[in-house]
């Protein structure tokens, strides 16, 4: 769940041992399926309903820009979780990104509907995505409001990135913003663990 009560600041996380990860499985009745032509609307709906984007129009445009010419690749790296009633309730992908200046694998666009939260679905989804991965280094970008997801990513070996400004970062003052962001995230995680 995205907490919009905290300032929105983007952060990066890195994992240098991504082929070593915990293996979680979906609860009974849930199943994985890979992207097929026509599932774009389901993906857009999941991103909207989990608070990742402001509108269906914006996420449809984003899908077309980012993935429109990549249908073959999507079929191998873009995973959905299907509920027992057939509804698609979660998604994630292993994609390529150049945030750090060269192409690397990244965990991208993770979303699970709140109505199916607390069942271990996000854990199983991360295990599935990392199972597709063949590289030691994987990264992801997220934001302060996703501190619950960040806590989960940490369990999978992802660590906060605190190095020099990534080459493709979109803010001017990465160092100060990054420090502020991680203070917010760590405080929120500590609150939820108390």
User: In terms of CATH architecture, what is 10-193?
Assistant: 3-Layer(aba) Sandwich (3.40)
Rounded to two decimals, the pTM is 0.94
pLDDT digits (tens, 9 = 90+) for 66-85: 998 998 999 999 999 999 99
Tokens of 155: 């369990």
Output the pLDDT for position 122.
Answer: 96
- Can you state the percent helix, strand and coil of the chain, rounding each to 5? 40, 20, 40
Q: How far apart are CA 43 and CA 162, in angstroms?
A: 31
- Tell me if 13 sits within 8 A of 160, measured CB to CB: yes
The structure tokens 């709140």 sit at 114
Q: Could you state, in chain order, the average pLDDT of each consecutive group of 10 residues for the chain (194 residues)?
A: 89 97 97 95 94 92 93 95 97 96 96 94 97 96 95 97 93 92 96 84
pLDDT digits (tens, 9 = 90+) for 148-158: 999 999 999 99
Parallel, antiparallel or unpaired: strands 138-143 and 104-112: parallel
The angle at the Cα of 107, spanning 136 to 124, to the nearest 5 degrees, equals 95
Tokens of 25: 């499985």
Output the pLDDT for position 192.
Answer: 85
Q: Which helix (H) or strand (E) holds 93?
A: strand 88-97
pLDDT digits (tens, 9 = 90+) for 84-97: 999 999 999 999 99
Residue ranges of domains in the chain: 10-193
DSSP of 29-76? T-EEEE--TTTHHHHHHHHHHTTSSS-HHHHHHHHHHHHTT-HHHHHH
CB atoms within 10 A of CB 50: 19
């Amino acid at each position: 769940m995205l907490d919009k009560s905290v300032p929105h600041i983007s952060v990066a996380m890195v994992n240098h041992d991504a082929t070593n990860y915990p293996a979680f499985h979906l609860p009974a009745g849930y199943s994985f399926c890979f992207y097929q032509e026509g599932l774009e609307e389901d993906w857009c709906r999941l991103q909207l309903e989990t608070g990742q984007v402001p509108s269906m129009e914006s996420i449809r445009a984003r899908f077309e820009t980012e993935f429109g010419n990549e249908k073959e690749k999507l079929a191998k790296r873009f995973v959905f979780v299907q509920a027992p009633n057939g509804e698609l309730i979660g998604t994630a992908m292993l994609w390529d990104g150049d945030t750090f200046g060269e192409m690397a694998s990244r965990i991208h666009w993770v979303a699970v509907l709140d109505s199916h939260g607390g069942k271990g679905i996000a854990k199983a989804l991360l295990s599935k995505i990392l199972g597709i991965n063949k590289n030691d280094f994987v990264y992801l970008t997220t934001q302060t409001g996703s501190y619950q997801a960040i806590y989960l990513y940490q369990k999978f070996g992802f660590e906060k990135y605190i190095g020099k400004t990534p080459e493709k970062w979109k803010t001017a003052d990465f160092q100060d913003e990054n420090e502020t962001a991680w203070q917010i995230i760590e405080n929120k995680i500590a609150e939820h663990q108390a």
